[in-house]
Amino acid sequence: MAHSTHEIPSTEERFEFKSETKRNLIIAALIGVAMVAIGSFLLSKGWSIGVWESHGAEHAAAGHEAAGHSEHGGEHGATLFHRIIANIWMNSVYFLGISVVGAFFIAYNYVAKAGWSSSIKRVAEALPSFVIVPGVILIILMAIPSTRHIVMHWTHDGIMDPASEHYDKIIAGKAWYLNLPFYFLRLVAYVVVWYFGWKTIRKYSLLEDEEGGLENYYKSRNTAKLFLIFFAVTASTSAWDLSMVIDTHWFSTMFGWYHLASWHVAGLATMMLTILLLKDQGYLGAVKESHLHDLGKFIFGFSIFWTYVWFSQYLLIFYANLPEETIYFRERFTGFQGRYWWPFHISLVLNFFFPFLILMARNSKRRPTFLKLGSISVIIGHWFDFYQMHMPGIAKDQGGIGIIEWGTTLTFASLFIYFVANELSKANLYPKNHPFLEESLHHDI
């Protein structure tokens, strides 16, 4: 590692979260809610505005029984309400992951004693402030019987009762893990431990600004170690509980890695885009091309890693050609009038080909325009990734991409930006007494 000798800007810098920006974000969130309401009304009347939804619009008006067979409950008809709940669940899982990745990034940099990332640490610290919102939404959706039955087929009455006509032997065999008390315990543990783990690291980080010294740094590092141990386990189990178990019969031993890779690279891209937008507004002057280059390498590298896990999972299932495994991909390729074929392949293009070509060259990882393009591609691409993970199992043949999807995502994105911007405004944008800040300020590669 080389160190530059250029003049270092002041590390006394605070982000101003203007009242006008707050108002605009709240309005945008409300517009998103209105879009969901308008989209629902139009579909209930048989009208569709959007893509990949025209086949289901007329069925939504009639509240028909789903025609296509599905391994996770083809006998249950999907309605417009299924689609709305699917959007809320999917966006909650997606934004929960982006948020917690901020804490994950801080933790592994603490444990690795990385110096370069100290100057961008406060951006990563701001992301987990939103964890509590999607976390609470997920808990509420699971607490209400009517909505949890829509999301999770295994929660239906009698499905694990041998005396019931709805008994499913395969799902009943998973009852030791898939039971409501244990599920709620895990779900609450994810949200609470992730959130308060971040809050503890954040507390010591702010105390470090006030008091100096190394005591709070070591407390942060010790908390980061505990957080990583917990996250190492729950990153996989949360993937099973929030996404894989929607298709209750199906499972993949690689799904935990695949899910985490998607969360991780989307979170890194969000961090990059936030840093670049702050720099456009005159903030983070001490963050130079070298810092962007290193974070760009993370995004590039983990885009490749996501593709590696995605392809490995797909190839093994394709090669084995076992019906109980291939059903997952058949539903996304040819099931439900083929409405999930495009989202599935758009995800692959935006998450691999686009960032691979844009960020492969060294200079592209040092230029804001290329980094913005790559980050936006990854953020949108992994939204499609989570869309194709969740929608076939929840919305079934009511899935589509139209006003409902745009509105739900706008609401979540607006609230996410609000929480992150609010957290950024609470402290200095640089951890001014961090022991590695000097090394970060002189970072040059």
Question: Of the candidates 93, 30, 406, which has an alpha carbon nearest to the alpha carbon of residue 266?
Answer: 93
pLDDT at 131 over 60: yes
Phi, psi of 3 (to 5 degrees): -125, 135
Question: Of the candidates 441, 112, 99, 115, which has an alpha carbon nearest to the alpha carbon of residue 268?
Answer: 99
What CA–CA distance (Å, rounded) separates 339 from 61?
18
Find all residues with CB under 8 Å of 334, minimum gap 6, and list them: 341
- Does 68 reside within a domain? no
Query: Taking residues 390-400, what's their average pLDDT?
Result: 93
Instruction: Determine the pLDDT at residue 418.
Output: 98
Instruction: Find how far residue 50's CA is from the centre of its chain.
Output: 23
pLDDT at 27 over 50: yes
What percent of the chain has a predicted confidence (pLDDT) above 90?
83
- Does 423 reside within a domain? yes
Find all residues with CB under 8 Å of 157, minimum gap 6, and list them: 164, 166
Q: What would the pLDDT profile of 186-202 be if each residue is shown by its tens digit?
A: 999 999 999 999 999 99
Query: Taking residues 67-92, what's their average pLDDT?
Result: 73
Instruction: Determine the pLDDT at residue 445.
Output: 84
Query: Taking residues 337-352, what's their average pLDDT?
Result: 93
Query: Per the structure block, which two tokens stand in for 292?
Result: 């962007």
What CA–CA distance (Å, rounded) separates 224 from 431?
16
Tell me the pLDDT band of 44, cut-offs 50, 70 and 90.
Answer: confident
Residue 284 or residue 9, greater confidence? 284
Find all residues with CB under 8 Å of 152, minimum gap 6, and list them: 142, 245, 246, 248
Question: Of the candidates 93, 386, 105, 421, which has an alpha carbon nearest to the alpha carbon of residue 267?
Answer: 105
Instruction: Determine the pLDDT at residue 71.
Output: 43
DSSP-based helix, strand, coil % in the chain, nearest 5: 75, 0, 25
Query: Taking residues 164-192, what's their average pLDDT?
Result: 95
Residue 337 or residue 51, greater confidence? 337
Tell me the pLDDT band of 60, cut-offs 50, 70 and 90.
Answer: very low
The number of domains in the chain is: 1
pTM for this predicted structure? 0.93
- Does 222 reside within a domain? yes
Question: Of the candidates 345, 420, 417, 416, which has an alpha carbon nearest to the alpha carbon of residue 387?
Answer: 345
Instruction: Determine the pLDDT at residue 86.
Output: 97
Determine the structural domain holding residue 231 and report its residue range: 16-45+78-435
Average pLDDT, the chain: 91
Query: Taking residues 335-353, what's their average pLDDT?
Result: 92
Q: Which of 56-65, 149-158, 369-378, 390-399 has the lowest mean pLDDT?
A: 56-65
Q: Which of 76-80, 158-162, 283-287, 292-296 has the lowest mean pLDDT?
A: 76-80
pLDDT at 284 over 90: yes
- Does 51 reside within a domain? no
- Does 57 reside within a domain? no
pLDDT at 56 over 90: no
Instruction: Determine the pLDDT at residue 49.
Output: 66
- Does 60 reside within a domain? no
DSSP structure class, residue 405: H
Q: Give yes or no for a contact between 188 and 139, defined as CB atoms under 8 angstroms apart.
A: yes
Q: What would the pLDDT profile of 253-275 be if each residue is shown by its tens digit?
A: 999 999 999 999 999 999 999 99
- Does 317 reside within a domain? yes
Instruction: Determine the pLDDT at residue 73.
Output: 42
pLDDT at 65 over 60: no
Instruction: Determine the pLDDT at residue 77.
Output: 66
Tell me the pLDDT band of 8, cut-offs 50, 70 and 90.
Answer: low
Query: Taking residues 416-422, what's their average pLDDT?
Result: 98
Residue 361 or residue 68, greater confidence? 361
Instruction: Determine the pLDDT at residue 257.
Output: 95
- Does 4 reside within a domain? no
pLDDT at 67 over 60: no
Alpha-carbon dihedral sign for residues 343, 345, 348, 353: negative
pLDDT at 5 over 60: no
Query: Taking residues 422-445, what's their average pLDDT?
Result: 94
